[in-house]
Amino acid sequence: MTGGAKREAESLNDSSKNHDDDDALKKKKKVEENIVVVTTMSNTNENKIDEDLHSRQLAVYGRESFRKLVGAKVLISGLNGLGAEVAKNVILAGVKKVTLSDDCDATMSDLASQFYLTEEDCGKNRAESCAAKLQELNPAVEVVTVMTKDVTEDVLLAHDVVVVCDSSLHSQQDCEKWDEILRKEKGKAFIKGDTKGVFGSVFCDFGDSFTVVDQDGEEPKTCIIASISNEHPALVTCTDDERVELEEGDLVTFSEVKGMNELNSIKEGVKIKSVKKHGFELDIDASKFSQYVGGGIATQVKLPKEMKFKSFVDSLKEPGEFLLSDFAKMERSPQIHLMFLTLEAWKSKNGGQLPQPGSDADAAAFVALAKDEVNAQYKSVEEVDEKLFATFAKTCRGDISPMAAMFGGIIGQEVVKACTGKFTPLNQFFYFDSCESLPEKLEEADLKPTGSRYDGQIQCFGQATQAIMEKQNVFLVGAGALGCEFIKNLALMGVSCGASGEGKLTITDDDIIEKSNLSRQFLFRDWDIKQPKSTCATNAAKKINSKLNVTALQNRVSPDTEEVFDDEFWGGLDVVVNALDNVNARLYVDSRCVYFEKPLLESGTLGTKCNTQMVVPHLTENYGASRDPPEKSAPMCTLHSFPHNIDHCLTWARSEFEGLFEKSPAEANAYLSKPDEYESNARANADASMRENVEKISQCLIHTRCATFQECINWARLRFQEYFHDRVAQLTFTFPEDAVTSTGNAFWSAPKRFPKPVIFSEKDDGHVNLLKAMAILKAELHGVTVGVPSAEVRGDEKAMNKIVVEMAAKVEVPVFVPKDGVKIETDPTKKEGDNDDNGMGGVEDDQIIDDLLTQLNNVRTSDLKGDAEYRLSVIEFEKDDDTNFHMECIAGLSNMRARNYDIAEVDKLQAKLIAGRIIPAIATTTAMATGLVCLELYKVIHKAPLESFRNTFANLALPLFAMAEPIAPKFQTYKDEKWSLWSRWIIEKDYTVRELLKYFEDKELECYSVSYGPALIYNAMFPRHKERMDQKLSELVQTVGKITFPAKRKHFDLIAATETTEGEDIDVPLISIVFR
């Protein structure tokens, strides 16, 4: 026990022994004073949130909720697998203090689900054994331990949330007592969670009155207004850019409405009566309002919600509605509610012991107890499901990692809700089972514990299943947030942990650890930053289970690494688990799994939402069979000239950043590395695209090359002027405020916003900070050292800004005069690069390219003195380094543009979330998702039928669970053959084209086209392709496709376009040619 933990335990023990009323009152008063002190401390630290560490959490919770969270104190009783999961998630979330309470010593059976216990901890107190490891997760959280017997009423009330995770520590009466104590004070919450084998339960009581400040965590919906009628009800018409997402009964407030100013002043909101595709009616009489002139934004009002919870004892008798998870189990929750009540009755009759694993006799007695006594008392169900109760009785001694992970995520999120009021709490019971994961037969001999670390799993799944688990060859793709949770679960389950190296887990991830990862990727620590994720995760997993046979790689899984992940590698796998964060990588892994007929367990998270999908050969469709629609992107003209929200400004800012500091310099370096070859290629391919590239090079090396920091400031100041004054002045000159379109409508109608130039001011910190960031980055790009302030000065904002202001004052800024005839793109269908001449007006591309190349050659041989080693320092955008000025630059560019168009500005964190395309992520959702997936892994191992598998969508914010059977693959039939996406027509010979066509003729099909990826190998329409008829397909693929097969490659796949003898097109499987 640590010193702090020991002192707290001694203090609590003293409190429990104190029988003097006056002393007891003093002690209680002291505890209450301590609560006040902690709250005060959290308030003083409001502005000390480590936003680099918690950026992904802040994207989910927001600053206000996060500040509440860092002041909260949580007591967790029971450090079994579930308790450890809850503690991990709560500590990563960043509460003020976590007290770990447990009277139990660790046993070998605990090791199947408790990842912070080892064989050496057996016989020692569970809480004390894992406290130090839990503390490592987040040094900002105080972690202490206390014996459960020393938890007094004062101790309970000194915490905001109390969580009970192990029913062996607490009887039903104990929980009722704790709950009643906590209900005495407003703002206290009681949560009880339990997992028994593949069955789990959660109960929440947040008191008689609990305020939910944000029910779903979604951003308020907004609409850009096109018109408002002077009627009752008033009809609001919105722009037709997007469909109205508001609902009847919503309240909306109005801003920026011109003319009908009365709406802007209704701060409490106006109720919506009915919603149409591009408009809605207001429950208000606008007949006497001023006439609508233009503009306006309607914003949804998100109202708080009051909830009332029943006590634990009352809820047991009248549980109310249960949260449903699986629509195939509509009547399951009341049955499981009765099961857990029956288990309490069983324990009271059997000295606290649970039914024996696999025992038919105990199962029969358990069913009888439920029917004859417990259901007669509680009247939970009309008829007891005897088979289900028998299954529960036979497996309830099991304690498995996937269930602990899943429920640890759910309960951890409920703790956050209780501390912050963010998201809708569970009301009040949630029950779940995964009986489909169990083996078909549950026999006492098979479920008998063996004295191993896997006994918690064996008592549920049996020794035979355990033996299979240990021999599995698994490929885990990704070692980030999902990957860390998967590695932990697999190690605890004994997957790939066979003796003598039987079974193997291969983990690959090409990423390194960043500070922001530490808030949810729990296997990593401060000292791992900048180290490979896969290596660090592997080392941590070996500490969880030293028997894990694991190999760590740093390779991206893609077509470029098929020499690493070759046919032999894929062929030797039993299952693939994806832990990826991008769709393209998922699709590639999916395609490999389909080809090699390997099960793929897929999952993903987004804030509080998660999705899991099971891809099982010949049973389900594959991941790529259905995709989300692509994200809608703003037209080029909107980003360049007509932004109307901050996302447009940030997208433009990041694009400019990448153009200035990455893409153009990279093009310049390509020229500098091989100037003669570049010039030759440019002259041979002299088109608009090549001209644009050469112009970028000339900008970098001729027009804006800097040698001193003053020149960097000059460049930044002139860029500021061009971006935020001159371009806007030209735009409003070309399209004045009263401009009309060719149809006579106002040009500056919604969603367009009429801009105004920004006048640079040395007194505006936003202006100065942007200049500073741009100049420092420009100096880095060109390797400038002359006049660059020291790192110490650059880190002193006041001193550095003073230097920037003084230097900026020396810059001569030309007076801008708008020009007639300047073309500004207004067509929303135009894409980047569609412009014809970029203002050069009819001058030939080849002449411009030739002139620029001549100038570049002169600079290279004179100014650069023929230095063959000279290169620009290309700057790739990195959002998570707070010292590199990248986000300062992007946020500054975005906010100045927002000022141009009178759009609300954002701070650096908000800019990072949007421009950095940060995916909101929290540990709770990740843990739940991986638990759900690992429950499906049992089904894969048992070769379960389709109806046993489940795909899941869940949203912990609501909360919502939607589980459904996966979709079966579509089958195609022709003549006597039947095939699906899982099918392959394998040809064990390197055919010629003629032989391949004959192969199809024998199937009564005519093949008229053959391709390898994008390369067209044969098409009957092209006469020249007749020359290929007698060439080997392997030769054609390599020559036409311009590839070389790796030495270990034994096959390649062709896509054939065919038609039946009746002339109807028919999709056939891929043709796999085994040529070696």
Distance from C-alpha of 294 to C-alpha of 289, rounded to nearest angstrom: 14
For residue 643, say if its preceding peptide bond is cis, omega within 30 degrees of 0.
Answer: no
Tell me the three state secondary structure of residue 597.
Answer: coil
CB 341 within 8 A of CB 374: yes
Q: Residue 125 corresponds to which amino acid?
A: N
- How many of the other CB atoms lie within 10 Å of CB of 590? 21
Angle in degrees, 0-180, between the axes of helices 481-493 and 533-544, rounded to the nearest 10: 30
Please give the distance of CA 168 from its chain centroid, rounded to a whole number. 36
Distance from C-alpha of 396 to C-alpha of 447, rounded to nearest angstrom: 11
CB 750 within 8 A of CB 841: no
CB 98 within 8 A of CB 5: no
- How many of the other CB atoms lie within 10 Å of CB of 629? 5
Alpha-carbon torsion, ordered 1024, 1028, 1033, 1039, to 10 deg:
-60
Bridge partners, 321 (sequence order): none
873: which 2 tokens? 């320092």
51: which 2 tokens? 């936003």
Nearest partner of 991 among 1022, 1035, 950, 1024, judged by Cα: 1035
Nearest partner of 53 among 733, 584, 513, judged by Cα: 513
CB 928 within 8 A of CB 489: no
> Which residues have a Cβ under 8 Å from the Cβ of 552 and sit 6 or more positions away?
479, 507, 508, 532, 534, 535, 537, 538
Catalytic site includes residue 396: no
Beta-strand pair 305-307/1070-1074: unpaired
- How many of the other CB atoms lie within 10 Å of CB of 637? 15
Residue keyed to tokens 């409490």: 268
Rg, Å, the chain Cα set: 33
CB 590 within 8 A of CB 614: no
Angle in degrees, 0-180, between the axes of helices 886-900 and 765-782, rounded to the nearest 10: 130
Residue 1064, judged by CB atoms within 10 A of its CB (0-12, 13-18, 19+), counts as exposed
Q: What are phi and psi of 912, to 5 degrees?
A: -65, -45
- Residue-level length of the chain: 1076
CB 969 within 8 A of CB 621: yes
Q: Residue 753 corresponds to which amino acid?
A: R
First to last CA, the chain: 64
- How many of the other CB atoms lie within 10 Å of CB of 861? 12
DSSP 216: S
Q: Which of 637, 700, 712, 889 is catalytic?
A: 637
Tell me the three state secondary structure of residue 960.
Answer: strand
Dihedral sign of CA atoms 166, 169, 175, 178 in order: negative
Beta-strand pair 972-974/977-979: antiparallel
Angle in degrees, 0-180, between the axes of helices 401-420 and 923-941, rounded to the nearest 10: 160
The catalytic residue positions are 637
